[in-house]
Amino acid sequence: MNILIIGGAGMIGRKLAERLARDGRLGEQAITGLTLYDVVEGAVLAGARVPVRLRTGDLPAPGEAARLVADRPHIIFHLAAIVSGEAEQDFDKGYRINLDGTRALLEAVRQAGYVPRLVFASSIAVFGAPFPEAIGDEFFSTPLTSYGTQKAICELLVSDYTRKGFLDGVSLRLPTICVRPGAPNKAASGFFSNIIREPLAGKEAVLPVADSVMHWHASPRAAVEFMRHAATLDTAAVGPRRALTMPGLAVTVAEQIGALRKVAGDKVAARIRREPDPFVEKIVAGWPRAFDARRALALGFRPDGSFEEIVRIHVEDELGGRIE
C-alpha cells in the first residue's frame, strides 16, 4: 500500500506519518511507501519501518498535483490548508490554497484514471449560526467565514467526484485540535491550545475571549485515529453523504482552565492573562459549540474521554510527562 500525506509537515500530518511509519501497516495491509508533501520539507521520521519520501511544492501550481499522484497512491490524506484566521485576512491566498489546491488534486486523480481512497480534513467551520443546541449531520451548511466556505465547497467536490466514481472520498469535519504542540499559528482558534500549552511550558498565555465560550475539541491523538479509521472504513456504510462530523468534547473555556488546574495546579493556571480581542471574538461568535456525532460514532470513530485527558495527552506526548 502506497500512502500520500498532503500537509505532511503540519502537526496532524507529522503525527499521522509517525504512527504509520512506526506501525508499517494500515488496517490489514502493509505499507510499501509513504510520501510526505508540503510547502516546506517535513522532518525525517526516525525508526520508520517503511520507505519515506519527503517532497515539497505548491499544490495549486499547474501540473503539480498530476506529478504528485503519478505513482498512484492507494491512500491520500489531504490535510493541507491555510488556517481560519489567515484565510479570513488574506482572501486570495485562502481560496488559492484551500479551494484551488483541492480542486487540482481531485482533477489530477480523475485524469490519472484510478480510484484511491481520499481522506479530506474538513472542519466544523462549515456550519454557521444560528445553531441548535447540538448540531447533527443533517444540519445545513451555512459557514460564516471564508475558511468555512472553502471547506464546505471542498466537501461538495469530494462527494461529487466520489459519486462519479473518480475516487472514494470521505470528508472529516474535525473538531478544533487541542492541545496543538509547537509555536502559536494564525488560526483564530489558536488560543484554545495556547491557554493550555503555554502555561504548562512555564509561559504566560493570552485569553482573547470570555470564559463562557464553549467549543468542540479533540486531541491530536484522537485526530490521528480519525484519519487512520477513515482510510480503512467500509464506505458502503457511509453512503452518499460523504462528510462526517467527528466526535469531540463540548467544553467551555472555564472548563478547559479547570482541567488545566486539576492536572497542573493553581500556579500554572494563573499564567493565563485575559485580554479581549474583538476580531477573534467576532469570528468565534459564529462558530458552533456542540454536536450530535451519532453517524461517526456508529461508524466506529471514537472521541477523547474528557478534557482533562486531553491535557494529560499533551503532557505525555509533548512534555515527556514534565510540567514547568
Active site (catalytic) residues:
147
Using DSSP's 3-state secondary structure scheme, residue 165 falls into coil
Distance CA 120, CA 79 (A): 6
Q: What are the Cα distances from residue 198, in Å, to 202, 205, 266?
A: 6, 6, 14
Distance CA 171, CA 151 (A): 9
Q: What are the Cα distances from residue 88, in Å, to 34, 113, 182?
A: 33, 35, 22
Picking from 70, 81, 63, the residue whose alpha carbon sits closest to that of residue 6 is: 81
Distance CA 199, CA 202 (A): 5
H helix or E strand, kind and range, residue 258: helix 253-264
Picking from 140, 127, 156, 149, the residue whose alpha carbon sits closest to that of residue 290 is: 127
Distance CA 53, CA 59 (A): 17
The distance of Cα 215 from the centroid of its chain, to the nearest Å, equals 15
Q: Determine the straight-line distance between the first and last CA of the chain, rounded to whole angstroms.
A: 42
DSSP 180: P
- For cell 489530477, the residue is 108
* DSSP-assigned letters across all residues of 191-206: HHHHHHHHHHTT--EE
Cell of 287: 462558530
Q: Are strands 249-252 and 214-218 parallel, antiparallel or unpaired?
A: antiparallel
Picking from 253, 231, 252, 250, the residue whose alpha carbon sits closest to that of residue 299 is: 231
